[in-house]
A and B are shown apart, each in its own frame.
Chain A
Amino acid sequence: MDLIQYIPRLLGGLVVSLQLTVIAVVCGYILGLFFALGSTSRRKAIRWSAIAFVEIGRGIPALVLLYMVYFGLPAFGLLLSNFTAAACALIINTAAYSAEIIRAGIKSVPSGQLEASQALGISPTATFINIILPQGLRSSIPALMGLAIMMFQATSLAYTISVNELMSQGYQVSMITFEYLNVYALTGLVYALVAVPSTWLSIAVERRLSRGVSVSV
């Protein structure tokens, strides 16, 4: 197995994959929070445009979204590097999915919380920011962790627009060595070594968070 010498190269690709994941998750979740708030807005225009963004962002395959950003934006005079294009597409995707998760989290906060705050004379804004939102976000954490793992896997699509992430490195190494099976098995193993323990972690966090929370409302 001479493949050992290519491991640093694959790990270099992994770093790029992780960078893309972090950018997509940080920017995507912040945007997602705004779209979640927008989709519960009382103003119809805001509500419907937020819902439309979320449904469109979730309905388009990630690969198509990637091509749309990569091939589409130059027409509007925006020339993006491959990395930036991939990051933009993944951010849109993450934002749409996380908006839906956060919205569901906020909705899951029992209405008794709202009524109790009203009875205590807490203003609607303070109620939302200090009471409803923290509880809603807390119950969204496991799903958001799952989404982060999903987005880490989705960064492999950036290979198609030749971003130098893990999948591209695997492809290039396979073209040098002609050991397709071994190289892709190794590439897959690197993905799995990140994704599988992360999944176990998210399950542990889910168990920990559900401790002490009564199931019936």
Chain B
Amino acid sequence: MVRFHQKPSVAFRVIEGNAVLIIPASAQILGLNRTGTHIWTLLASPRTAEEIAGEISAHFRIPLERARADTESFLADLRKKAVVEDVE
């Protein structure tokens, strides 16, 4: 199963609970909400989408199905923006 990990080249800071990602090469900036920040923080070590969905479901007390859908959508967005990498 694919595991996801923060790309080391992406700089970020968490400011008042919200992560701000900066992609140095393009100077692209990405502001995350609290849920996104929680997922980003989890991605400090490689995780599968299923593991993250489980964490999100437990942390925010939402049904696993909804957490799974939200996580997959968010990870797809992070992949599109090239701020995460796949780890085998």
The judgment on whether A and B are partners is no
Chain A residues at the B interface, C-beta cutoff of 8 Å:
none
